[in-house]
Amino acid sequence: MIQVETEAFVTPEEAATFLHYSPITVKRLAREGKIPAHSVTNGVRKRWRFLISELAETMRQEVSLKHHPRRLHKEEAAHER
């Protein structure tokens, strides 16, 4: 029999601890679609759950986009000299 390990969902408070944000910020980012989140209710007040692996991947992508060395065009390189 093959066992498949599944990752447990975490609460906004646990996600906030991982991200070093406040739980309110985590819920706002989830509502705005800026971080991966899963709604577990259909009502007006959504209850959010998160997967740490998805949050980590999103943060890795954000960091690599913000810190990717910019390639200089020839004119920019000339001004730098």
Q: What is the block-wise mean pLDDT of the chain (81 residues), using blocks of 10 residues?
A: 83 98 97 95 88 96 71 48 48
Q: How far apart are CA 31 and CA 41, in angstroms?
A: 13
- Name the strand (E) or helix (H) holding 52: helix 52-66
At 62 the pLDDT is: 84
Can you tell me which residue has the tokens 């986009």? 65
Q: How many domains would you assign to the chain?
A: 1
Amino acid occupying residue 21? Y
57 lies in a domain? yes
Residue ranges making up the domain that contains 64: 12-80
- Name the strand (E) or helix (H) holding 38: strand 38-39
5 lies in a domain? no
